[in-house]
A and B are shown apart, each in its own frame.
Chain A
Amino acid sequence: MSEKTIERPTTDEAALAKELEAEEKAAARQASLLRDGWADLRKRPLFILSALVIVCLLALAIAPSLFTARSPFSNGFCQLQNSMNGPGSGHLFGFDVQGCDIYTRTVYGTRNSIVVGVVTTIATTLIGGLLGMLAGLIGGWVDMLLSRITEVFSALPIIIGGLLIMSIWRTGDVWTVSFIMAILGWPQVFRIMRGEVISNKYNDYVMAARALGADSWRIAFRHILPNTLAPVIVITTMNLGVYISAEAALSYLGIGIQSPNISWGLMISDAQDRFLTSPHALLFPAGALSLTVLAFIMLGDVVRDAFDPKMR
């Protein structure tokens, strides 16, 4: 009798092992889907191009002092007598209204743009992803509540929200701007995540795992999450560029990063009213901004092409 009682669990164990194996296989298939995507990506010239640009930008953001001998925060950096002088020797991009070297400021402005983009993207992905998953998995009143909250946040235009928050804080730097955009940007990720989770929730393999007694956390993280990742990766990569340009827009309007911090949007705003007489002060930061946004959007585009199952 005792032998039998021991035997039964062993058969169960065997079944469980089988189930685990199947699970691992599914995971491997998932991994190979990612691997497939990656293999696909590497072959795309657009990917290589945008990746190159992004690597350069990251280098600029991490170590701006390697690219310029001057520091925009050193004393005597801005000399008013140089105001609006055009590009010349030693000053590749010329000077702005205050007589500051535009090249140095553009280089130092890279970090803020990239940091805002990355921080906002991570924050929106975490908040939106987590809440989206909860809403999708639990459903019922939790889903109801979270969805309504999402609607409240997404109904608030970013400019008005930005004005509101800035009027409370009064000072603007990288973190406040990231905060504003994360607070107002997460609903998009939430919706995608929630939709994906709901559509995956009733798939056969989830049902199977559930039937085999896997607990909810295991199902959520081993079965559902990997299958929802691809669309979220796509949307976040594309959003990175969007957030960088939104930062510039907020700073341009005076509700984003504020001087003495450097931001391309701020530089554009400062240069705009003299654009007709001295366009260089606007064109260089605007060019840097366009290039950066373009690189990230292009990356997002190829990532979508590679990963989105519907595109295959």
Chain B
Amino acid sequence: MSLLNPISLLSVSNIGISFGGIHAVDGVTFETSAGQIFSIIGPNGAGKTTLFNLISGVYRAESGIVMLGGEDVSTLPPEALAARGLARTFQNLQIFFRMSALENVMVGAHVHEKRRALSHLFGLPSTARENRGTRDAAMALLERLHLAGVTNRSAGSLSYGQLKRLEIARALASRPKILLLDEPAAGCNPTETAEIDEIIVEVAKSGVAIVLVEHDMKLVMGVSDRVLVLTQGRMLIEGTPEEVTNAPEVIEAYLGTGLPTMEASHD
């Protein structure tokens, strides 16, 4: 295990947590580097979102280590991880519903803004400059995610598909080094899924390490460099999409139905 590999941006080793005696995630190990798309798949309740929450600091791991760019970040809170270049989206939408689409994305740029509450209160020219910079970058992201038409609409009035993309735009606003996407295409129609697919590949190409949890097998197998299969919190297999698709234990884990039928699971 090359855990101290300098190229790996994110490395997770032997991580685990249990809730009420049940091992939600147990002994998971993987690493990924800049520009790679690393996908985590598995049946419902396999611990995919729990793993995300462990990596992003929402939960604190009971065992194991998370390293970001060579630094042990296992005990850091989410905001400290964000400052180190980690961004994420949420499976169950976590939108700022009382704010406009534009403001939602502007919040994403928080880590790059100055923490000077007094100059904010006095409305100094530096604050206006900062606002302009943040706003312009947020506008560009809204455009990129085909949300330019709803810029000033309240986030509470947007459709599900738009909110999914809004979460991605907000995460990208922090200009992350590592991006965790929790089911970005869930509940999206095929056209929207294709758009998200395209964006993920594009972001990875720009040098971001992407970790993807997704049920849409076509999307996962099409874009991923590596795939990790989780069942009941444990790693079943990790490898290239081909290796994973052909592995007998994977086919068995899906009760012999085989992976291809899972394509129908996105509706």
Whether chains A and B associate is no
